[in-house]
Amino acid sequence: MLAGNTVYAPPIIDYLIIAGGGGGGSGQAVSGNRAGGGGGAGGYRTSAGTSGGNSSAESTISVNLNTNYTVTVGAGGAVNVKGSNSSISGTGITTITSTGGGDGGAAQDNGGTGGSGGGGGVGAEKGSGTANQGFAGGDGGSGGSNGAGGGGGAGQVGVTDSSENSGNGGNGISSTITGSSVTRGGGGGAGKAANTTSGGAGGGGNGGSNTASTNATAGSANTGGGGGGGIVDSFSASPAAGGSGVVILRYLTSIGTITIGAGLTGSTATDGSYKVTTITAGTGNVSWA
């Protein structure tokens, strides 16, 4: 913008954009104990630190004042369903989209592709992740009473089943964009069929276990964590949904006031000379003035 003969650069915005995590895979009561894979984490993209797949920080964005920018926060996927994308777009910026996490494979089904890939069900293969957003899931066991693969995380590949030890979900990545270190984008743990151990531990949700019919846990809200996988045998344990995503925007307090439009749920806090706006749900416009 211009003020007299002085040219001011457009406001610079740092961001963390995480998509919804994939839902865990369900078990199947066929030919013995069958476990489902863990859901993959939602895609993880940021200009403020390490991005998904342990890649470098992306470029910041420059916005115009009194201009609408559309933000979408992806929902977590239901059981056996991929997570939804998160994004920001508008005039003068390249649209930034984080891809929803792949769903965990139901028993005998492959894990879904996504920001991070879902773990394979028993006897099935992992789903792949998206470059610079997250990692692949883990493969499932060969069959019978073997376990399944863990969902991929933003910071680590999901663990492959090994000798009835269902795979853990891959770890997420920590970020200090809000002023405090928070880890998000973990993969879901796989379901576990053997009675002696629990389901795979999750960077997102934990996998279910047939021990006392322990159900899987969901990925935490606004982390993009994958949901835990389930199992079916004489002690069935249900899989769980992925966690919703989040869009976090960090900018100097001198820029002015942000308006969070209808359709979005969010809040703004101050961290020293910066403001941090965290948008937790919905689709709508934001603008600065």
Query: By the 8 A CB rule, do 74 and 185 touch?
Result: no
2 band by pLDDT with thresholds 50, 70 and 90: very low
From the list 274, 246, 270, 259, the residue with the least C-alpha distance to 13 is 274
- Using the predicted structure, report yes or no on whether residue 168 has a pLDDT greater than 50: yes
Portion of the chain with pLDDT greater than 70, in percent: 87
Per-residue pLDDT of 248-282, as tens digits, reads 999 999 988 999 999 999 999 999 999 999 999 99
Domain boundaries, the chain: 19-52+101-251
Take residue 149 and report the two structure tokens written for it. 């693969």
Take residue 285 and report the two structure tokens written for it. 């416009």
CA distance 257 to 251: 10
Least confident span in 131-140, 158-167, 174-183, 217-226: 158-167
- Using the predicted structure, report yes or no on whether residue 108 has a pLDDT greater than 90: no
Query: By the 8 A CB rule, do 119 and 111 touch?
Result: yes
- Apex 211 CA angle, 210 and 212, nearest 5: 100
9 band by pLDDT with thresholds 50, 70 and 90: low
Portion of the chain with pLDDT greater than 90, in percent: 70
Take residue 61 and report the two structure tokens written for it. 């964005």
